[in-house]
Structure 1
């Protein structure tokens, strides 16, 4: 017999999580429009987008306050003792990105400072939404693995906002696929370590290296392929470790 109450709860939870996702998506879209309309330069754009991402955190913070959900409940705490080795000390994450730094990085200080603010704001805000509140909500009525997949899918959907920046359909699709893989790994790490702090740091560094690296052309494509292979293998490895958390 179908448990209609449970089915209703799952649909309701997914709609709430979709609402959070679309709310977050609104902020980069609005900031992108402002940048285009006012013809802001690259550095000004980074500062504005970073500011909007910080402003986006008002919504989940108010939600946490209203619902009395504690910071610890959404992973705003240190890594549980003995969990570092289960995620291989995050070494695969470093290996996936380090190659991008060997082909030169931007030495423009104003750009670097703006990028640190921009990527930091993205890392904190997106993780607070997706691996914080959204993953917390999903775990209330879905299995661990279902929660990971749903949170990653919603994360990928938000990255469809690339289309508003004039990106090609292929680039938007590849961005969403990359976001899906990223989202799976990030959620897996949170489940295993019980902390979103590591993924906030990884998220920031991942985006920062992407922006500051000067690699391009065929070399960049090759590095992206290598990165993707490492991330898929790492996602599978972490997936096998989730059994002990069910």
Structure 2
């Protein structure tokens, strides 16, 4: 028995549409699966269920900038995060990354490789930036002034970055050199990334960024 041509075409259209929808749904599930469910303490009140975001804080602890390895600074910001449960920065599934450029690697953009166009919030739930580009080269909506406990950071005001004002690595002043570039959490413009050059043996703060997080209310 032969099917009319128009029926065959209709069946082909329905099959193709279903396949496309399945593909889209699979990609969405795959992307969300890469995000870590955020503990309630880290979720900004403005976010709805299923929204993706990053969290950022400035460390209460201090460290020098003499190492050229990003992992040195990753280890440091995680040790600081693990010291507090107030904002759940010590959650075992969350591995924080230092926002730094070193002689070995510029880690800044790599921190946001998973989702560069997702918003970044400080630990009081204030939006800092719409995306990585704004964080690394634009003017911020809010300051990165809260520590792992959610409290306002005190003096010193300086933060090791190894960056220029435009978010690019500071050439001869990345971390691991005799002198390195610092920003300051008191700024919302270029100064947040680059404020001055300082001998790298001094101990100052660091910015710590979470992995991609998802607000899962249930």
The TM-score, its normalising length taken from structure 2, stands at: 0.28
Indicate the structure with greater helix content. Answer: 1
The TM-score, its normalising length taken from structure 1, stands at: 0.26
Indicate the structure with greater strand content. Answer: 2
Larger Rg over CA atoms: 2
